[in-house]
Amino acid sequence: MKKKLFLILSVLSFGIAQSQEISDAVRFSQENLNGTARFRAMSGAFGALGGDLSSINVNPAGSAIFANNQMAITASNTNTKNNSTYFGSTNTEKNNSFDFNQAGLVFVFNNNNRNNEGWKKFSLAINYDNKNNFDNTIGSFGINPTNSIGNYFLSYANGIPLNSFKDSYYENLSHASQQAFLGYNAFIIDPANADPNTNSYISNIAEGGNYYQENTVSTNGYNGKLSFNAAASCNDKFFIGINLNSHFVDYTQSSVFYEDNDNTLEPTSYRVNKVQFNNNLYTYGSGFSFQLGIIGKITNEARVGLSYESPTWYKLNDELTQTLVAVSANSTTGPLDPDVVDPNVTNVYAPYKLQTPGKLTGSFAYVFGKTGLISIDYSRKNYGNIRFKPEYDSYYQGVNNEIDKTLSRTNEVRIGGEYKIERLSLRAGYRFEQSPYKNKTTIGDLNGYSGGLGYNFGSTRADLSYAYAERNSQQAFFSQGLTDRANINSITNTVSLTLLFEL
């Protein structure tokens, strides 16, 4: 049977979709190293080089470097391994995905009028890059000695009058009251006293500690970017360009939490000793950004570049479904049948806006004639500028204030090199990106290495690359109540193949 849809029309009367948190804002503000195989092999250090379709995502002036019309398409295979440690227990989850992550073409128009000095070349390009591939799985398990899932439901319920959700329908409640509704109807929480207007609660989970917990988070989807580019060259010395970018978000997250315990049960009263809590979130929407860039040749060998990427202004939608199952038992009769709380409702929240941070990139490259090159990019981005909107909403005000306190400015360095042996090109790169969090632990620094090769057949070129990236992070199972964190070490290996055709 299809789930009922419930549209939350008001964005002011209560806490909107609590799924809109700092971690979500960071997710849609970060970019993986995606693009053509040549771009990836050199770790994306193309800000002063251009001449590659993915380079226009760093500096839009780069399309004016092209000597002729070209088309490129890239396929990538990504393998991600997540090593999790939770209270001393370790687990490894692997995920493999294949996709066509890049496609684009560029048209070059030469001005052959000898009497027209200055602007000798114009270019138009269109390019699609998958900024983020969200296909991933993280699984954690371990024995928590002190904290139970009951504290999650208590953290929402305390302060909410019992009669406001006890006899109400799930779909008529705010997010906080919905969590209280689930915990109450699964007998995980009980009123602290007999007052029907009480707003104080106790956990009905057996006490004593040693709560065995499992949490599996599976994500799928993508964050795509379609760029419309125009650029021009002045005497082959000075290049300017602009991008108008359209962004697409399609993200699903399915989390399954399980907890049980062997704590002492009472002979007459029932206590909860097994819980499974399922949450399914779907986020989708679109956005817009623009980029400006310049490249200048200091000499025939040395080049510098400067580019600015505006914030991305997203309009997003969230849909959330929840199911809770609990088993109660006592020491006399044993376990009862499971209490299943399935509202059979999909919460469709009112659209909201997200503004990601802008980015400034400075670049330098040195070209050794036709034999090789080396290139360096340096970027700055302030994650503290992320904003949920409308900012006048009290919930978003709270989240934005937390963003100011939690997130910081970041530096990113990309270094790439290429060496040519006749038709064969050998490439390598390194990438470092600082953590967007002030504590440096929620998401740690990223280190990446890459390499690859290419072969020029004449009017066709084939490029192959390998990219490695490693990053540590900490994952809390829930945003409040049960906030103990698993330590995650994530390693990503990507192999990309690009076919390029001259038109």
Q: Residue 1: its pLDDT value, please?
A: 38
pLDDT of residue 411: 97
pLDDT for the residue numbered 331: 86
Could you tell me if 139 and 214 are in contact, meaning their C-beta atoms sit under 8 angstroms apart? yes
pTM: 0.92
What are the residue ranges spanned by the domains of the chain? Answer: 4-149+205-502
Backbone angles phi, psi at 99, to 5 degrees: -155, 160
- Give the pLDDT band (50/70/90) at residue 19: low
Taking residues 153-159, report their average pLDDT: 96
Q: In terms of pLDDT, which residue wins out, 498 or 194?
A: 498
What's the pLDDT tens digit per position in 60-100? 999 999 999 999 999 999 999 999 999 999 999 999 999 99
Q: Residue 469 in contact with residue 426, Cβ under 8 Å?
A: no
Amino acid (one-letter) located at 241: G
Q: Residue 306: what residue type? A: L
| pLDDT computed for residue 114 by the predictor | 66
Higher-pLDDT residue of 393, 13: 393
Q: Read off the pLDDT of each residue in 218-223 and give the average, rounded to a whole number.
A: 96
3, pLDDT greater than 70? no
Compute the distance between CA of residue 49 and CA of residue 375 in angstroms, rounded to an integer: 7
Q: Which fold has domain 4-149+205-502?
A: Porin (2.40.160)
- Contacts (Cβ under 8 Å, ≥6 apart) of 465: 37, 38, 40, 41, 427, 450, 451, 452, 494, 495, 496, 498
pLDDT tens digit sequence for 344-358: 999 998 899 999 999
Please give the full DSSP string across 272-318, using - where no structure is assigned: EEEEEEEEEEEEEEEEEEEEEEEEEESSSSEEEEEEEEPPPEEEEEE
Per-residue H/E/C for 446-457: EEEEEEEEEEEC
Confidence of residue 263 (pLDDT cuts 50, 70, 90): confident
Percentage with pLDDT > 90 across the chain? 84
Is the alpha carbon torsion for 181, 184, 190, 193 positive or negative?
positive
pLDDT at 268 over 90: no
pLDDT at 16: 39
pLDDT value for 33: 86
- 49-76: buried (b, 16+ CB within 10 Å) or exposed (e) per residue? bbbbbbbbbbbbbbbbbbeebbebbbbb
Comparing 364 with 197, the larger pLDDT belongs to: 364
